[in-house]
């Protein structure tokens, strides 16, 4: 199929309506995945807006990152007229997603038990801290589950647990919510009935550290924190180089070790019988790595990158997030897209955002609409639900919607 035909084809989830009662990262991530895949995703916000819109510091990117390709309707659920709107909207959906504390949605009659009586085809995705069990009453955050789920232990140095440098559980928890929603849609096509799906931060984190749990199950040896790990490969590390630079270099097979030595003129190391196999080199790491660090210090990071690129060896510059805007690969492959910011001092200005890391039929999934302004689609969605203009005005006057 040519690119023009591909780009005009319907997106996979076109025609699917998703209503999300979400905030922060986990729930919005689920909605973003479904929206990028073509679903109509309607974000229900309080009349004063999702608080994520107004976060500073590390949270300043949350709303514009995870709410593209969505519509916004602002509803006051505490007012009977507003709650009626929310129930009508939610019961019109194929999928409802939420990530509030247990009991909040039931209080408003917006839980699965209530809504499924109005729409037996409804798929309802809960994003929670814990799946049902002894911990389900606890308030969870990404950092909480990283600490209790072994990820912070594995990331930090011994005695210094450190959370991962991204909202990994929130984002992946939302992704698993989206996977569950899509699986339920496929099952509904066979059964005609919807179902409730649960995705949880703690269980997601345990899945992430499952490889380390399995290492212990197989070997009987606890996994060491990553900074103290016993590497499976001799050359697999960050090296300080000329002019204060740093670069990650690896040689994970005997063939790569030979190429590494040949490329850099280390004939003596290649010929050393004590370095003949990967396991030999792993055992020799206490003396091999200091020697390699001494030799590689004569090169700049750029020089080593060129050598490793030329010989097909694994390497990586140590990049900061802001440097990725200028990454030649991301820009050449369409991995970044422009959006208009909806809130804050830069409202209306353009920023670049990252797209889902996949292609379908040779195409990246685009930004079809900017992150919405608060209540941007309220009037249109109310009309779609059958509210007459006078009724919409009455709802606005009563402050039930905005």
Query: 109 near 79, Cβ under 8 Å?
Result: no
Planar angle of CA 382, 198, 68, nearest 5 degrees: 45
What is the reported pLDDT for 228? 86
- Buried residues in 139-154 as b, exposed as e (16+ CB within 10 A): ebbbebbbbbbbbbbb
231-320: CATH architecture: 2-Layer Sandwich (3.30)
338: number of Cβ within 10 Å: 10
Low-confidence ranges of the chain (pLDDT < 50): 1-6
* Cβ atoms of residues 149 and 206 within 8 Å: yes
What pLDDT, on a 0 to 100 scale, did the predictor assign at position 307? 98
pLDDT tens track for 24-35: 999 999 999 999
* pLDDT value at residue 232: 84
Instruction: Give CATH for domain 3-209+333-397.
Output: 3.40.50.10540
Tell me the catalytic residues: 170
CA separation, residue 347 to residues 149, 245, 251, 277, 339 (Å): 38, 37, 47, 58, 11
Return the pLDDT at 7. 54
Give the model's pLDDT for residue 6: 44
Look at strands 123-128 and 196-200 and give their pairing: parallel
Domain spans of the chain, in order of start: 3-209+333-397, 231-320
pLDDT digits (tens, 9 = 90+) for 119-148: 999 999 999 999 999 999 999 999 999 999
DSSP 402: -
């Amino acid at each position: 199929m040519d690119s023009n035909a591909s780009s005009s084809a319907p997106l996979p989830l076109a025609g699917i309506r998703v209503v999300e009662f979400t905030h922060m990262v986990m729930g919005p991530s689920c909605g973003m995945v479904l929206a990028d895949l073509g679903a109509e995703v309607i974000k229900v916000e309080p009349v004063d807006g999702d608080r994520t819109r107004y976060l500073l510091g590390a949270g300043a990117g949350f709303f514009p990152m995870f709410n593209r390709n969505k519509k916004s309707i602002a509803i006051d659920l505490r007012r009977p007229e507003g709650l009626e709107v929310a129930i009508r909207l939610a019961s019109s959906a194929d999928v409802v997603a939420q990530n509030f504390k247990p009991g909040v949605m039931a209080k408003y009659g917006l839980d699965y038990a209530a809504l499924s009586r109005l729409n037996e085809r409804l798929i309802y995705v809960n994003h929670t801290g814990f799946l049902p069990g002894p911990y389900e009453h606890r308030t969870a955050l990404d950092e909480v589950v990283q600490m209790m789920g072994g990820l912070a232990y594995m990331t930090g140095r011994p005695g210094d647990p450190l959370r991962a440098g991204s909202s990994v559980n929130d984002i992946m928890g939302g992704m698993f919510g989206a996977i569950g929603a899509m699986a339920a849609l496929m099952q509904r096509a066979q059964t005609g009935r919807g179902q409730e799906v649960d995705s949880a931060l703690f269980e997601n984190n345990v899945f992430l550290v499952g490889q380390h749990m399995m290492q212990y199950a197989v070997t009987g040896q606890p996994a060491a924190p990553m900074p103290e790990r016993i590497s499976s490969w001799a050359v697999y590390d960050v090296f300080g180089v000329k002019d204060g630079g740093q670069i990650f270099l690896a040689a994970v097979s005997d063939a790569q070790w030979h190429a590494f030595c040949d490329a850099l003129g280390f004939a003596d190391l290649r010929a050393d019988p004590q370095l003949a196999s990967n396991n030999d080199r792993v055992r020799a790491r206490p003396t091999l790595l200091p020697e390699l660090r001494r030799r590689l210090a004569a090169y700049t990071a750029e020089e080593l990158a060129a050598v490793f690129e030329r010989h097909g060896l694994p390497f990586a510059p140590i990049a900061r997030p802001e440097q990725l805007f200028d990454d030649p690969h991301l820009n050449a492959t369409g991995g970044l897209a422009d959006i208009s910011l909806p809130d804050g001092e830069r409202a209306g200005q353009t920023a670049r955002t990252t797209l889902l890391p996949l292609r379908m039929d040779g195409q990246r999934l685009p930004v079809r609409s900017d992150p919405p302004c608060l209540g941007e689609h309220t009037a249109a969605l109310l009309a779609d639900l059958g509210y007459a203009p006078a009724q919409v005005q009455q709802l606005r006057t009563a402050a039930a919607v905005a």
